[in-house]
Amino acid sequence: MQAHQLLACACDPARTRGRRHSEEPAPTRSEYQRDRDRIVHSTAFRRLVYKTQVFLNHEGDLFRTRLTHSLEVAQLGRSIARSLRINEDLVEAISLAHDLGHTPFGHAGQDALNACMADHGGFEHNLQSLRVVDALELRYPQFDGLNLTFETREGILKHCSRSNAEALEALEPAGVGQRFLLRHQPSLEAQLCNLADEIAYNAHDIDDGVRSGLITLEQLRELPLFERHRAQALAEFPQLDAPRGQRRLLYDAIRRMLSAQVYDVIGATQAALAQARPASVDEVRGMPALVGFGEEMRAQSQALKRFLFHNLYRHAQVVQTTDHARQVVRELFAGYLADPQAMKPAFAERCQVQADLAGRARVVADFIAGMTDRYAVREHERMTGRRFPG
């Protein structure tokens, strides 16, 4: 349990809205600590180590993966949560689970799988992450999934279309889909995870982009958010201006930039909470988002996102690799849909009991979404006889 007193509007594990299947409380852990432990021990969590963040798994050992990204989100989230006096354990659980449903090959894989599923309900990785923890993990004799608390599941479902929210609401009235129909916010802890996710990937994508050679320190000087902290690092440590000091200069500028964003979120959120004065989690849900940057930092963060989009995510080298990745996903989907027996037995058996094409397509999407980059590449080579470039 946290040592400091939680805010009245923070999520208290003693007042959780519970699990879908009733369980006795754990004797030594809170409900959110129990969620975190189940996530860490899940198969889907282990697979994140071989799933792309920006650079595909075979492109280098030191680039971020979905696993290291999730750990960085959890670290940032916990640091901010402690200062805000909201529930660190819940923030950690949501952070570690938020990418469990991500496909191989990052957003390229998700886009390709969504296109394949266009006539069968589409594919969205946030919804797939919920699907993983609610149904696809098979570890317990009493239920499918991990049977996480409502609050953790609410935080995992970051985005949801109205049609998907209506489908969730039909299956689970007043459940995790309801807030999208009411246009409500999630808990403070979930709001914080959304922002920690953004802070983490902006920072580590700068690092990985420079390491890859696709962006340079000179290009980054165009960004006020980065340049201010690069200049501060250089003023304090002028020796970093030498060629051998460039890597340390980059690290120190990113470290300072992260600290500035963290302090800004804490200050802006404390001010928003002082003004709104929510007395409970339910009041938080009915208010506009309370966790966020101040106005200036928000603008600088958006400028950084635009820079990374144009200079890294849309770099010709990245696009070429992700085009190949999309092709792998498309051909795997078509192959498995035509021959479900080519999948692992458990998925082939699930396909056999589906009465319609949409049901079979969803099983195929579940199988592909669960793959690591390298397993998808091996499967594609086995099915087509063609080797993935690179």
pLDDT for 119-157, tens place per residue? 999 999 999 999 999 999 999 999 999 999 999 999 999
Q: What is the reported pLDDT for 58?
A: 46
More confident call, 32 vs 320: 32
Residue-wise pLDDT tens digits, 154-172 = 999 999 999 999 999 999 9
Q: What is the reported pLDDT for 54?
A: 63
**Buried-state track 3-32, b at ≥16 Cβ within 10 A, e below 16:** eeebbebbbbbeebeebeeeeeeeeeebbb
Reading phi first (left if > 0) and then psi (alpha if -120 to 50, else beta), residue 101 is in alpha
**Buried-state track 159-172, b at ≥16 Cβ within 10 A, e below 16:** ebeeebbeebbeee
d(CA 153, CA 101): 13
Which of 46-60, 92-106, 286-300 is predicted least confidently? 46-60
- Quote the tokens at residue 316: 């010709």
Question: Whose CA is closest to 91, among 13, 180, 21?
Answer: 13
Which of 57-66, 193-202, 248-257, 357-366 is predicted least confidently? 57-66
Which of 53-57, 85-89, 180-184, 386-390 is predicted least confidently? 53-57
Burial (0-12, 13-18, 19+ Cβ within 10 Å), 344: exposed
Q: What is the reported pLDDT for 151?
A: 98
Mean residue pLDDT of the chain comes to: 93
Average pLDDT over residues 282-297: 97
Q: What is the reported pLDDT for 331?
A: 97
- Quote the tokens at residue 72: 């960085």
Residue-wise pLDDT tens digits, 11-46 = 999 999 999 999 999 999 999 999 999 999 999 999
Considering Cα of 326, then 318, then 301, then 130, what sign does the dihedral take?
positive
Chain CA centroid to CA 229, Å: 27
Q: What is the reported pLDDT for 106?
A: 85
Residue 2: pLDDT over 70: no
Residue 62: pLDDT over 70: no
Residue 363: pLDDT over 60: yes
Question: Which percentage of the chain shows pLDDT scores above 90?
Answer: 84
Residue 3: pLDDT over 80: no
Chain CA centroid to CA 156, Å: 8
Residue 318: pLDDT over 90: no
More confident call, 54 vs 230: 230
Residue 347: pLDDT over 50: yes
Residue-wise pLDDT tens digits, 185-240 = 999 999 999 999 999 999 988 988 898 889 999 999 999 999 999 999 999 999 99
Residue 1: pLDDT over 50: no
Residue 64: pLDDT over 90: no
Q: What is the reported pLDDT for 133?
A: 98
